[in-house]
Structure 1
Amino acid sequence: MKQASHSPDLTRLSRHIPRTPSIGSTTVTDEDHVHLSFGFAAPELFPLATLEQAAGEAIRTHGREALQYSGAPGPDDIVKWIEQRAHHNGLDVDSAHVLVTYGATQGLSLAAQLLLEPEDEVWTEAPTFFSALQAFRLSGAVIRAFPLEADGLNVELLEQALQEARATERPLPKLLYTMPTYHNPGGVTLSVAKRHRLIELAREYHFYVLEDDAYGELNFTGQPWPTLYSLAPERVIYLNTFSKIIAPGLRLGWMIAHPELIQRLRILMLGGSTGVFTQEIVAALLQNIDMNEHLERLRTHYRQQRDVMAAAIDRHLGDAVRYVLPEGGFFLWISFREVIDTTELQQRAFTYGVSIVDGRSFYPQRDVGHQLRLCFSYCNSEQIEKGIARLARAYTDYVAEQEAVQLNTLEYHNRV
Structure 2
Amino acid sequence: MNTVHQVPDLSRLSSRIPAAPSIGSTTVTKPDHIHLSFGFAADSLFPLEALEQSAQQAIRQDGARALQYSGAPGPAYILDWIQSRAASYGIDAETAQILVTNGATQGIALAAQLLLEPGDEVWVEAPTFFSALQAFRLCGASIRAFPIDGEGVQVDKLEEALIAAVHEGRPVPKLFYTMPVYHNPGGVTLSLSRRRQLADLARRYNFYIVEDDAYAELNFTGETFISLYELAPERTIYLNTFSKIIAPGIRLGWMIAHPLLVSRLRILMLGSSTAVFTQEIVAHLLKQLDFEQHRAQLIRHYWRQRDIMVTAIRSELGDEVSFELPEGGFFLWLTFPDQVNTAEMQYIAERHGVSYVAGSHFYHDDSGHNHLRLCFSYCTADRLTEGISRLAAAYREYREEHLHQGVDSYSQH
Determine helix, strand or coil for the equivalent of 1:313: helix
Q: How far 1:63 sits from its partner (Å)?
A: 1.8
Could you tell me how far 1:8 is from its partner in structure 2? Answer: 1.1
List per-residue Cα deviations over 1:274-320 (Å, max 9, x = no partner).
00000000000000001111101000100000000000000000000
RMSD: 1.3
Equivalent in the alignment of 2:320: 320
- Is contact 2:178–2:211 with CA below 8 Å preserved after alignment? yes
For 2:48 and 2:2, locate their aligned partners in 1 and report how far apart those are by CA, in whole Å: 47
Map of 1:93-104 to 2, 5 A cutoff? 93-104=93-104
Query: 1 CA distance for matches of 2:102 and 2:342?
Result: 33
Aligned to 1:265: 265
- Find the aligned partners of 2:394 and 2:48 in 1 and give their Cα distance: 37
Aligned-partner Cα distance in 1 for 2:69–2:338? 56
Take 1:234 and 1:2, find their aligned partners in 2: how far apart are those partners? 56
Residue number in structure 1 paired with 2:335: 335
Question: For residues 112 and 322 of structure 1, what CA distance do their matches in structure 2 show?
Answer: 34
Q: CA shift at 1:191, angstroms?
A: 0.3
Partner residue in 1 for 2:370: 370
Please show how residues 166-245 of structure 1 align to structure 2 within 5 Å. 166-245=166-245
Give the Cα–Cα distance (whole angstroms) in 2 for the partners of residues 26 and 407 of structure 1: 30
Provide the C-alpha distance between the structure 2 equivalents of 1:25 and 1:385, rounded to a whole number of angstroms.
19
Residues 20-29 or 86-95, more deviating: 20-29
Question: Secondary structure, in 3 states, of the residue corresponding to 1:295?
Answer: helix
Which residue matches 1:413?
none
Which residue does 2:10 correspond to in 1? Answer: 10
- 4+ runs deviating over 4 angstroms: 1-5
How many angstroms apart in 1 are the aligned matches of 2:153 and 2:133? Answer: 16
> What is the CA–CA distance in structure 2 between the aligned matches of 1:123 and 1:101, rounded to whole Å?
23
Cα distance in 1 for residues equivalent to 2:394 and 2:191:
35
TM-score (norm 2): 0.97
Aligned length: 408
Residue 89 of structure 1: how far off its partner (Å)? 1.0
Indicate the residue corresponding to 1:301 in structure 2: 301
TM-score by length of 1: 0.96
Would the aligned equivalents of 2:121 and 2:141 in 1 still touch at CA under 8 Å?
yes
What secondary structure does 2:209 align onto?
Answer: strand
Letter in 1 for 2:162: L
Per-residue CA deviations over 1:356-406 (Å, capped at 9, x if unaligned) read 000000000112200000000000110000000000000011111101111
- The equivalent of 1:276 in structure 2 is 276
Q: Judge conservation of contact 1:24–1:39 (CA < 8 Å) in 2.
A: no
**Helix, strand or coil for the counterpart of 1:322?**
coil
**Structure 2 residues not aligned, in runs of 5+:** 409-413
What are the within-5 Å matches in structure 2 for residues 131-170 of structure 1? 131-170=131-170
Instruction: Summarize the Cα distance change of 1:315–1:63 in structure 2 as closer, same or farther, 3 Å threshold.
Output: same
Aligned residue number for residue 65 of structure 1: 65
DSSP 3-state at the match of 2:339 = coil
Structure-2 change in CA distance of 1:2 and 1:359 (3 Å): closer
Q: Name the aligned partner's letter for residue 266 of structure 2.
A: R
Return the offset for 1:2: 6.2
- Measured against aligned partners, the alpha-carbon deviations of 1:108-155 in whole angstroms (never above 9, x if no partner) come to 110000000000000000000000000000000000000001110000
Shift of 1:4: 9.0
CA distance in 1, matches of 2:28, 2:10: 29
SS at match of 1:333: strand
The 3 A distance-change label for structure 1 pair 369 and 66 is same
Q: Displacement of 1:21 after TM fit?
A: 2.1
On the 8 A contact 1:58/1:284 being kept in 2, the answer is yes
| Offset at residue 199 of structure 1 (A) | 0.4
Name the CA distance, whole Å, in 2 between partners of 1:281 and 1:295. Answer: 19
